[in-house]
Copies of this chain bind each other. A is one copy, B any other.
Amino acid sequence: MKHILVVDDEPRIAEIARDYLERAGFKVTTAGSGADALAFARSRRPDLIVLDLGLPHVDGLDVTRTLRRQSSVPIIMLTARVDESDKLIGLELGADDYVTKPFSPKELVARVRAVFRRIDAAPERGDIIRAGEVTLDKRRMQASVGAQSIDLTSTEFELLATLASQPGRVFTRAQLLDAIRGVEVESFDRAIDAHVKNVRRKLEPDPRNPRYVLTVHGVGYKFAD
């Protein structure tokens, strides 16, 4: 069963949302502050968060920003004002959808269902990368070799995803830096070597004789094809 966290400082609103969402078949937890929401999200990993933009102290955007550093949990924003809200949300990365207050509970349920549909729908083209026995799930940021799933840091994941998305293509270190860091950061090329080493340590059965992430001497790296 999908677990939804509803965050609003007005208990009345939160309760209405809870009633409707529970009736729609979801498990619901409510939180009255941004701090509570963050603590809960960290420890219990809800499947979706309904978040009031106008929380006191730590507002919805702060919560979103903090959450986004560690998770890609879907967020639906509740916004009070119509005029400014779109702009604000537009500027802040991270919300998946938004509902303006006063909202109809039925609309909220519909939006929640829509988000889950999107997520559960057949993976987007390119969202799942399969290259031989290696599988990368971009949405869940999870990698696996065969049935064995492995933990990668976000940088390592991006690096591997870039390589595995086009097996056989040779990437220079500069290209890989772009892919994992964005163009703006200037970093020493050799940082890539360190990440490759770490990826190999986690991914390869025998890191000394890589089967997947291969070195192309004088050029860069490629994923085996």
- How far is the CB of A159 from the nearest CB of chain B, in Å? 13
A16 and B97 in contact, given A126-B114, A154-B218, A219-B154 (Cβ under 8 angstroms): no
Contact yes or no, B106 A117, CB < 8 A = no
Given contacts A93-B23, A154-B217, contact A15 B86 (CB under 8 A): yes
Q: Which residues of B contact A94 (CB under 8 A)?
A: 106
Contacting residues, chain B, for A198 (C-beta < 8 A): none
| Chain A contact patch, size range | 35 or more
Q: What 0/1 pattern do residues 190 to 225 of A give for CB contact below 8 A with B?
A: 000000000000000000000000001111001000
* A125: Cβ under 8 A from any B Cβ: yes
Q: Is the CB of A118 within 8 A of B124?
A: no
> B124 touching A110 by the CB < 8 A rule?
yes
- CB neighbours of A25 from chain B (8 A): 182-183
> What separation, in Å, do the CA atoms of A119 and B169 have in the docked complex?
15
A15 touches B117 (CB 8 A): no
* A91 close to chain B: CB less than 8 A: yes
Whether a CB of chain B sits under 8 angstroms from the CB of A66 is no
The answer to whether B90 touches A154 (Cβ under 8 A) is no
> Closest residue to A120 on the B side, CB-wise?
B166
Question: Is A165 an interface position by the 8 A CB rule?
Answer: yes
A-B pairs, 5 with minimum CB distance: A19-B90, A16-B90, A154-B218, A96-B104, A141-B170
